[in-house]
Amino acid sequence: MISCLVTTLLNALGVVAALLAVVYAYFKWTYQYWKSKNVPHVEPTIPFGNTGNPFTQPRGQNIANMYHMAKEKGWKYCGLYTLLSPIFLVVDIDLVKTILTKDFQYFTDRGQYTNEKDDPVGCHLFALGGSKWRNMRTKLTPTFTSGKLKAMFQTLVDCGLVLEEYIEENIKPEESVDIKEVLACFSTDVIGSCAFGLDCNSFKEPNSAFRRYGNTIFTIDKLVALKVLFCGTFPTLARMLGVRQVSRDTADFFTKVVEDTVSYREKNNVVRKDFLQLLMDIRNTKDGQENGNGAGDGNSLTLNEMVAQSFVFFVAGFETSSTTMTFALFELATNPDMQERLRDEINEVLARHEGKVTYDSLSEMKYLGQVIDETLRVHSPARLLRRVCNTDYKVPGEDLVIEKGTSVIVSVRGIHYDEEFWENPKEFDPERFSEEKKKNMNQYTHLPFGQGPRMCIGERFGVMQTKVGLTCLLRKFRVKLDKKTKLPLKMSSRTLVNSAEGGIWLNLEKI
C-alpha cells in the first residue's frame, strides 16, 4: 500500500517536473525574440520579464529604470518583456515624436483590453482602438471647447468655495490632515456636478457611493493585478471567459446614474450645462437616432456609450486632479518661498477681479501654471504611454521592423527625469516652465497628458479644476508639512496612478 502511494507520488512529481521544464523552455524560447531581431535588450528573468513583480513594484518605475539604463548605453530603443509579451521601449526623443505624432497611423491603439459584450462600460474613449476610437474622439472633441469649459466654470468655483468652508470649519491648524482625502472630496463634487449634474456632497457624506467607487477603481490588489496581467497577455481567451475590466457593481452603479438622470431630464425638459447634457445633445441630433438594434448610425451615441464616456470622465477627472493638487501642495509645503510667491500672485490677480475666481483670472496666474506643470513633471499621474503597432512598421533610419501587435512603450517618468532635458531633474523648480524657457522646450520631453492625436482630451478641464482647487485653498490657508508624512516619499504599487505610501499629511493654517 505504502509502496503504491510512493509510486503515485513520484509519478505525480515527475509530471509536475516535466510541465515545469516545458514552461521554462517556452519562456527561454520566447525571450529570444529581441535577440533574433538584433535589437539591444535587457536580459529578462522568469516569469515577469523586465518589468518587475506587478504585485509588489510600481511598473512605471521599473520601466523608467530600464529607460535610464538604455540611455546610458547610448541606445535609441531597447527590447523588454513583460511576462511573455515583447515590449519595444522608445528612448530617442525624436523617435518618441515620430511614434506619437508623425507616424501615428501605425500606432493608433493603446492596446487596452476591452470586452464589448460583457463589459460595455469598459469600452470608453481611453480604451477603444481603431475606427471605434476615431469615431468616438470625433464625437466628443466639441464637448471640450473653451466655450463648453466656460459654461462649466462656475460649478467648479462653487465646489471650491465648499472646500474653503469645510477646511475653515473642520480642520484646526494643529491637526494633521491627509490632504489627498480632502482634495478627493473636492474632485468628486466637481466631477459629480460637471459630469452628471449631481450634488455629491462629499464633505458631508465622505462614504457616498461616488467616493467608494472612485477609491476602488484606482486601487490594485493582487487579484486585480493578476486579472490585468491575464487580460493583457491572453485577451482573446479573457473575452471568451467573459472577464470584465470594470466590476459589475461599479458598472451597474454608473449605468443607473446615467439612465435615471437622462430619464428625469427628458421627462421634465431639464437642461444642464454639464458633460452628460453634451452627450445627450449628441444623441439627440437630427441624424443621430438609434437604429433598431440600439446602436447609433455613426453620428449618435448609444446609452451604453454614454455610460462608458461618463464613467471615464468621472474616473480620469476625479483621480488625476486630486493627485496633482496633492503633490503640488506637498512641494509648496516643502518650499515655503515658492508657496508665498504663488499666494502673492493669487491675491494680486484676484484683486483685479473684485476678489472673485473667474475663468479669465486663472489665465493670468502664470506662476500657478508653472507650479502645476512642474508638479506634473516630477509627479506625473501617468507613469508611461503605451501604443500597439497595428501594421508592420519600418523604424526610420534603422534596419528594424516593429511587427504588428507589438507593444510600444514611452516612459513618461524616464523622460521627465532625464538629465539631458532637465538639469537636476529631482529638484522641484517651477522656473523650468517660465514663458521664456517654454519657447525653447521640446514638447515631447513633458508628457503628463501624452502627445499627438491620442493625448488626453480632458487636459484643459483637468488643469482648470486643479487651478481652481489650489487657488481657493492657498488664498486662505498656508500649508505646512506634518511629521506624519513619510520622507522620502515612496510610491505605492497598489494604485494605478502615483500615490505616496502612507499619504501626504499637512497642517493647514488660516491666514
- Paired with 411 in beta bridges are 384
The three cell numbers of residue 474 are: 492657498
The three cell numbers of residue 1 are: 500500500
* Pairing mode, strands 384-388 and 505-510: unpaired
Tell me the average pLDDT of the chain: 89
Please give the residue range of the domain that contains residue 344. Answer: 34-510
Whole-number pLDDT of residue 58: 61
* Lowest-pLDDT range of 6-10, 282-286, 413-417, 486-490: 6-10
Cα separation, 200 vs 219, whole angstroms: 21
pLDDT at 233 over 90: no
Sheet harboring 176-178: ordered strands across?
A: 176-178, 505-510, 477-481
Q: How many helices (H) and strands (E) does the chain have?
A: 19, 9
Whole-number pLDDT of residue 296: 43
Crossing angle for the helix pair 146-170 and 459-474, to the nearest 10 degrees: 30
Whole-number pLDDT of residue 123: 95
Whole-number pLDDT of residue 208: 79
* Lowest-pLDDT range of 210-224, 387-401, 482-496: 210-224
Mean pLDDT computed over 453-479? 96
10 inside domain: no
Which positions ≥6 away from 418 have C-beta within 8 Å?
Answer: 67, 68, 71, 425, 445
14 inside domain: no
Which positions ≥6 away from 230 have C-beta within 8 Å?
Answer: 238, 243
Mean pLDDT computed over 1-23? 72
Q: CA nearest 100: which of 501, 398, 427, 453?
A: 453
Residue 459's alpha-carbon distances to 101, 278, 466, in angstroms, are: 17, 17, 11
Which residue carries 501654471 as its cell? 369
**492 class by beta-carbon count within 10 Å (0-12 exposed, 13-18 middle, 19+ buried):** middle
Q: How confident is the model at residue 95 (pLDDT cuts 50, 70, 90)?
A: very high
**DSSP secondary structure string for all residues of 34-59:** HHHTT--B---BTTTBTS--TTTS-H
Whole-number pLDDT of residue 212: 82
Q: CA nearest 394: which of 28, 70, 106?
A: 106
Which residue carries 531597447 as its cell? 78
9 inside domain: no
2 inside domain: no
pTM of the model: 0.91
Q: How confident is the model at residue 299 (pLDDT cuts 50, 70, 90)?
A: low
How many domains does one find in the chain?
Answer: 1
∠155-216-408 over CA atoms, to 5°? 95
Q: How confident is the model at residue 10 (pLDDT cuts 50, 70, 90)?
A: low
181 inside domain: yes
Mean pLDDT computed over 447-466? 95
Amino acid, res. 199: D
Q: What percent of the chain clears pLDDT 90, i.e. is strictly above it?
A: 67
Mean pLDDT computed over 261-286? 88
23 inside domain: no
3 inside domain: no
Mean pLDDT computed over 146-156? 92
7 inside domain: no
* Pairing mode, strands 407-411 and 85-90: parallel
For residue 225, the domain's CATH number is 1.10.630.10
Cα separation, 451 vs 410, whole angstroms: 11
pLDDT at 292 over 60: no
Mean pLDDT computed over 368-391? 96
Q: What percent of the chain clears pLDDT 70, i.e. is strictly above it?
A: 93
Q: CA nearest 58: which of 327, 374, 413?
A: 413
- Paired with 481 in beta bridges are 506
**288 class by beta-carbon count within 10 Å (0-12 exposed, 13-18 middle, 19+ buried):** middle
